[in-house]
Structure 1
């Protein structure tokens, strides 16, 4: 990669790689690190060899808006680049985020509901994809991230709980008894005596991309819009059902591993249809 001039400082491939190493030491997920570095490279390529100032960084923000990027996407890209500035001690280049009003409701076309979930399970079983069906059930029944599937082990199933270490935090999640029985039965059938339960034929940990691809492969058969089907939506479904049962957002944040309850609130935003029904029930139009 060519170097880039930043306030008479030369941004090198070594520094960008060092930023990636720093992120990994902060226990950021592989996907997050890839995104941060991708955003950083996008900024560096746009800046070319111009001296980068706060004003130029703001100009990049404006160019992203002009190119039609969504405000939420722009803020995510700015977060990546601001993180690099902090890492290198270049706080003077820090650029402010766009002000985005918190969403009142989400798009129902992108929401996986309980019926969709049941259809996915049914179709996975009908197609003989026992591992995928059990993985879908495990993610949705526990609320774990797809990157945390590796913590579902034979030992965890026997103990009824799994210890998850992610993003510098350790949390304990409880596994439903019925799920534990299913996990142990599957492990016995696959001759897995210990360690990770969900693994490839070669015995390696199954990757997030493979899980994503296998889920997408069910969409046509299950007659579900592909936009609804991805691992994180199973986590969202768990969050909504858990909160509906408990009405305890603090406990839900702990279960999900969120440091900030505002992140948890995003999971609980109602759909447009739900929001419309709530408005109708107010009875203020006489």
Structure 2
């Protein structure tokens, strides 16, 4: 069968995503993927499975597999919504890695330098946002649920995408956030809002964090909000080796997702293997 992507198709798809309670970030991402495919096809061009497969090859050529798969998932959602099931694509199979890419591994020293840089650049809100994510593993989209009232309860209640969960807030973090609120005249409601009074968004926080790179002497590829969530996961798992409890804290329904968060760097993995190797050496070599 042949199909054509028209403006009304994208509008209907967006409405379906909203109805299914997808987050604003997911909706924007899915729309971008569909619009990119439409641009690749060209104006008023009909397509079928052959063109969809050709575009999949183009994604493989241009992007990392994870990015290519994210685009395929978005397109499949669009195709299913439109009833174009004949165009659905399979995602690329990826070998699971037991380690994280070192170019994204954030060390404790680098994290501390990021905080210091935010202080030095007088970005008080950004400082406390980074601190909050690193201490709780909370998502940017969930920050709006941290309110002045939640600080006294030492927990915030999050309701997103039809799911409800409670996030515990560490004592010292609550003290620091209360001081922050007092200093900025925040008496009630969300602790972190934009200058227009709206919840802070990921792109704004990302842009502000990237500006810390030179001052903090931390490579820019390591600096993004979600990496602080990974940073929390690795540090939490180092203190409490209960991956199920960590999954609950992060709001994961699949433990396999949580395992991705707890990956260590190749250097750390080699260090562990070196320790194991010492125990496996022949007795004569240990003497």
Query: Scaled by the length of structure 2, what TM-score is found?
Result: 0.90
CA RMSD, aligned part only?
A: 1.9
Matching residue within 68, 87, 95 for 2:81 = 87
State the 1:8 CA deviation: 4.4
SS for the counterpart of 1:163 is strand
- Structure 1 runs (4+) deviating above 6 angstroms are none
Structure 2 residue runs of 5 or longer lacking an equivalent are 283-287
Give CA deviations for 1:162-189 in whole Å, capped at 9, x if unaligned.
0112222111001111111111121122
State the 1:51 CA deviation: 4.1
Matching residue within 39, 42, 50 for 1:55 = 50
Q: How does 1:189-268 map to 2 (within 5 A)?
A: 189-268=183-262
**Contact persistence 2:3–2:47 (CA under 8 A):** no
Structure 1 residue runs of 5 or longer lacking an equivalent are 1-6
**Contact persistence 1:158–1:184 (CA under 8 A):** no
Give CA deviations for 1:231-271 in whole Å, capped at 9, x if unaligned.
11110000111112111111111111112111111111221
Give CA deviations for 1:67-99 in whole Å, capped at 9, x if unaligned.
332222211111110011111222221111111
State the 1:158 CA deviation: 1.6
**Contact persistence 2:98–2:264 (CA under 8 A):** yes
Give CA deviations for 1:130-157 in whole Å, capped at 9, x if unaligned.
2221111111111011121111110111
* Corresponding residue for residue 100 of structure 1: 94
Measure the CA separation in 2 of the matches of 1:178 and 1:163: 19
**Contact persistence 1:119–1:222 (CA under 8 A):** yes
* Corresponding residue for residue 144 of structure 2: 150
* Corresponding residue for residue 285 of structure 2: none
Matching residue within 59, 77, 83 for 1:64 = 59
Q: Which moved more, 1:221-230 or 1:47-56?
A: 47-56
Matching residue within 22, 32, 39 for 2:16 = 22
**Contact persistence 1:40–1:80 (CA under 8 A):** yes
Q: Which moved more, 1:49-58 or 1:217-226?
A: 49-58
**Contact persistence 1:139–1:145 (CA under 8 A):** yes
SS for the counterpart of 2:110 is helix
State the 1:104 CA deviation: 2.6
SS for the counterpart of 1:103 is coil
* Corresponding residue for residue 70 of structure 2: 76
SS for the counterpart of 1:171 is strand
Measure the CA separation in 1 of the matches of 2:233 and 2:243: 9
* Corresponding residue for residue 4 of structure 1: none
State the 1:52 CA deviation: 2.9
Matching residue within 255, 266, 269 for 1:272 = 266
* Corresponding residue for residue 3 of structure 1: none
SS for the counterpart of 1:173 is strand
Query: Scaled by the length of structure 1, what TM-score is found?
Result: 0.90
**Contact persistence 2:157–2:165 (CA under 8 A):** yes
